[in-house]
Amino acid sequence: MHVLALTALVAASFLPSGGAEVRSATMTIAGRPVTYVIAPLERVRIRVALGQDRPGRTETLGHIASRYRAIAAINGGYFEAYTSGAIKNLIETTIVDGSLVFKGDVGDTLYFDRYNRAAIEHVPLRIEGALDGSYAYPNNWYAYWFNRQPGPNADTITIFTPQWGERTGLNGFQVQVDDGIVTAISTASLAIPINGYVIYFKGETTVAGHFRIGRRVQYRIVRTDGDAVSDFFDAWQAVSGGPRLLTDGKITIDPHGEHFHDPKVWGNDARSMIGTSEDGRSLILAVSRGTLADCARIMQRLGAYQAMNLDSNASSGLWFRGSYLREPGRPLNNALLILAPTEAL
């Protein structure tokens, strides 16, 4: 029998059968102690949550999980954990309740539609803007980021959405867009409309000069790899990480190919992992310690068919029914939660 098929047969015993509840366990796999949670996706709801419900803010995993009355929770994707300020920016693509909160450029994204159908995919994105209905020069514009505190030196164009807060809290040229119309231009902090956003410019004066009060403004998110058809655009919740551990049951680890450069990403460290079963009906959350290859083998044994690494080291944490199975060593920027259906909204 093929080794991969044998692995699938062994792993099948860990996966919940029809009607099973969310459950956790600790065991040794490939010589590594592993604590995991397995959830039947047809019996739960998935939510991605932000620290203090704002991009760039942090909060303990236990507080996030308790606030949403989560059955289980695991830390999410990478963020700027070592910056000294109160804002610690997201690094990777994040979607909450159908809204793209942040657009990242590295790794893979695990996303869920409204029916909990899940996929893991590398989704390179670009933000394109239009004025008065035209995406052609000289009415085209662009942005680099959503909801990202600008650095002290680099030029940027950033869209701040209502998820950021009531105001941008920034000084510098910015354009308020309410219901698709430019309603204010200022160099001081602007209110972020509930039905709109604020475009913040640092440098990029040529692009900024095209905006005037009363002009119609819109933007779109496009894939940069030319793949126009993707279920990603139906995503309701999404958390990103990487590198990818498993693709269709096979180990596929390529940190450099996914544009990771920090050796901490592939070292022998505390790790969080997430994956889905071959039939797409079970979600697997796991924490352990080891290399990426160790973790890929662990996820195979647990029955994952698609799997990826999440933020790890001091961020690695797992929560289950009111208690830590592993407590992170720092407050977190984002987390993935498993909720009872009645707690989903």
Flag whether 116 is in a domain: no
Mark which of 221, 253, 288 sits at the end of a domain.
Answer: 221
Tokens of 116: 């909990």
If you average pLDDT over residues 25-54, what whole number do you get? 96
| Model confidence band, residue 7 (pLDDT cutoffs 50, 70, 90) | very low
42/139 same-domain check: no
- Total-model pTM: 0.92
Tokens of 280: 């797409």
Phi-psi region of 301 (alpha: psi -120 to 50; beta: other; left: phi over 0): alpha
Three-state secondary structure of 193-227 = CCCEEEEEEECCHHHHCCCCCCCEEEEEEEECCCC
Q: Where are the alpha helices (DSSP H) in the chain?
A: 3-12, 61-67, 205-208, 292-301
Secondary structure E strands in 113-171: 118-121, 125-131, 140-143, 145-146, 156-160
Beta carbons within 10 angstroms of residue 255's beta carbon: 19
Flag whether 83 is in a domain: yes
| Model confidence band, residue 1 (pLDDT cutoffs 50, 70, 90) | very low
The CA-based angle 85-94-266, given to 5 degrees, is 75
| Residue 8 predicted with pLDDT over 50 | no
205/105 same-domain check: no
Question: Which tens digit of pLDDT belongs to each residue from 176-194?
Answer: 999 999 999 999 999 999 9
87/129 same-domain check: no
Provide the pLDDT for residue 18. Answer: 54
Flag whether 231 is in a domain: no
130/204 same-domain check: yes
155/106 same-domain check: no
| Model confidence band, residue 154 (pLDDT cutoffs 50, 70, 90) | confident
Tokens of 331: 């407050």
217/251 same-domain check: no
If you average pLDDT over residues 222-246, what whole number do you get? 89
8/107 same-domain check: yes
Q: What is the dihedral of CA 310, 315, 321, 323, to 10 degrees?
A: 160
| Model confidence band, residue 5 (pLDDT cutoffs 50, 70, 90) | very low
Flag whether 228 is in a domain: no
Question: Which tens digit of pLDDT belongs to each residue from 116-139?
Answer: 999 999 999 999 999 999 999 999
Provide the pLDDT for residue 30. Answer: 84
Flag whether 119 is in a domain: no
Q: Where are the alpha helices (DSSP H) in 54-204?
A: 61-67
| Model confidence band, residue 6 (pLDDT cutoffs 50, 70, 90) | very low
Provide the pLDDT for residue 228. Answer: 64
97/131 same-domain check: no
Provide the pLDDT for residue 16. Answer: 63
Number of domains comprising the chain = 2
| Residue 270 predicted with pLDDT over 80 | yes
The pairing of strands 174-178 and 72-75 is: unpaired
Flag whether 233 is in a domain: no
Question: Which tens digit of pLDDT belongs to each residue from 56-67?
Answer: 999 999 999 999
Q: State which residues form the domain around 322.
A: 3-111+241-343
If you average pLDDT over residues 252-268, what whole number do you get? 85
The share of the chain scoring above pLDDT 90, in percent, equals 82
CATH of the domain at 185: 2.60.120
45/84 same-domain check: yes
297/211 same-domain check: no
Beta carbons within 10 angstroms of residue 39's beta carbon: 24
Beta carbons within 10 angstroms of residue 3's beta carbon: 8
If you average pLDDT over residues 238-251, what whole number do you get? 96
